[in-house]
Structure 1
Amino acid sequence: MTSDAPPAAPAAAADTPPEPLIAWRLLALFYDLWPALALWMLVSVVFTVGFTFLGHHDPRQNIPPFSLLAWLLWLACWVIAGLYATVSWRRGGQTLGMRPWRLRLVSRDAGVPAWSQLWTRYAVGTLSLLLGGLGFWWAWFTPAKSTWHDLASRTRLVRLPRR
């Protein structure tokens, strides 16, 4: 006996939240700029005071742009911003900027991403931004709307439903 009912959608597809629009990703990134900027200022103050106290830097002069101290400062700011992002993603899947847009980071199997996935995502995302946002542009042309850092880290952003 045949049925005239349409075939049911697979259960995995029905349970999977939709991929967020690229605009929501960029808005979340813009929101996350502000806590990152505050952390960078704090790191800069600690660096300046610390190296002045140790006698390695004259407090009345700027840090030369291509000195070892400048590169260490950039590295410290990158690591601090990475800690902010990866710890936020690991604890609840969201940074402060992702919460208003109901975005959550999950592993491809919808689980909690591993630390290595989170740092890979952060590093590739940074590279993407340094290259003029090419990783985000990539998402406009793929059917799954995946960015470079989504693909490299085997993670994805999902948009949570309204409560």
Structure 2
Amino acid sequence: MPAATPAISPQPASNSMPRTPPLRRRLLCMLYEGVLLFGVLMAASAVYILARPLLQQVGLDRPYVDQAWMFLVLAFYFSWFWQRNGQTLAMQTWRIRLETAAGTPPRWPQSLFRFALAWLWLPPAATVGHALGLTKGPFIGVLAIGLLIWISLAWLDPRRQFLHDRLAGTRLVDLRPASKP
């Protein structure tokens, strides 16, 4: 009778925190997300244009209503994907996942809260641009600088998480297999 092979015990669970994706990968994911959002926002624009005559009839075709609509569409897009499985389409491609401290996808309130917090860089940057009297290109330059400052705050966090993740109680996790030493 052949000797029984010992049962292979499972690897002990690692108590270490999940790996944070490098900032470069997160920025590339954001760039890819922007490409995908072009189609989402085009569809949202088409809906707005179709609804515009009705909005005019009821007196809701005011300045910034279209921008508020786009903001709501973006909030729904991101929150729906995040609460569903923690990943937007771009995050699936780049193997990045958003999760809570418990390791689960955030629910609707936390997803919406994170989305709102991710825009905190905009009011200060816009205020500076307006205070300097900038328009068009220079104003967009000030917005870009504000965004870069916001992103660079991740270097101050020991886990290299964005400030809005820290405030929302979420984290971005790298889903790629760990490289061997």
Query: Structure 1 length as normaliser, TM-score?
Result: 0.76
Q: In structure 2, what is the Cα distance between the partners aligned to 1:50 and 1:102? A: 37
Q: Spell out the pairing of 1:135-154 with structure 2 (5 A cutoff).
A: 135-154=150-169
Following TM superposition, by how much is the alpha carbon of 1:146 offset from its aligned partner in structure 2, in angstroms? Answer: 1.6
Unaligned 5+ segments in structure 1 are 1-9, 58-66
Match of 1:127, SS?
coil
Instruction: Tell me if the contact between 2:95 and 2:175 (Cα under 8 Å) persists in the aligned partners.
Output: yes
Q: Secondary structure at the match of 1:12?
A: coil
Q: Does 1:116 align with 2:109?
A: yes
Residue in structure 1 matched with residue 33 of structure 2 by the alignment: 32
Stretches of 4+ moved more than 4 A in 1? none
1:94–1:103 CA contact under 8 A, matched in 2 = yes
> Does the C-alpha gap of structure 1 residues 45 and 112 become closer, same or farther in structure 2, counting only changes over 3 Å?
closer
Stretch of structure 1 that moved more, 94-103 or 150-159 = 94-103
Question: How far, CA to CA, are the matches of 2:81 and 2:44 in structure 1?
Answer: 19
| In 1, Cα distance between equivalents of 2:38 and 2:67 | 13
Q: Is the 8 A contact 2:52 2:61 kept in 1?
A: no
Aligned 8 A contact 1:43 1:77 in 2: yes
Letter in 1 for 2:76: L
Does residue 107 in structure 1 map to residue 110 in structure 2? no
TM-score in terms of structure 2 length: 0.69
Change (3 A) 1:76 1:143: same
Aligned partners of 1:139 and 1:147 also within 8 Å? yes
Deviation at 1:55, TM superposition (A): 7.9
Query: Using the alignment, how far apart are the partners of 2:55 and 2:96 within structure 1?
Result: 46
Mapping of residues 55-66 of structure 1, within 5 Å: 56=56
**Residue 47 in structure 1 maps to residue 48 in structure 2:** yes
Residue 87, structure 1, aligned to residue 80, structure 2: yes
Q: CA deviation at 1:127?
A: 2.5
- Structure 2 alignment gaps of length 5 or more: 1-12, 126-145
State whether structure 2 residue 39 is matched by structure 1 residue 19: no
Secondary structure (helix, strand or coil) at the match of 2:121 reads: helix
Aligned residue pair count: 143
1:157 to 172, 175, 179: 172
Question: Residues of 2 paired with 1:11 and 1:73: CA distance?
Answer: 48
Q: Please tell me whether the aligned partners of residues 31 and 96 of structure 1 are also in contact (alpha carbons under 8 angstroms).
A: no
Q: What displacement does 1:123 show?
A: 0.8
Q: Report sequence identity in percent.
A: 28
Q: CA deviation at 1:68?
A: 5.6
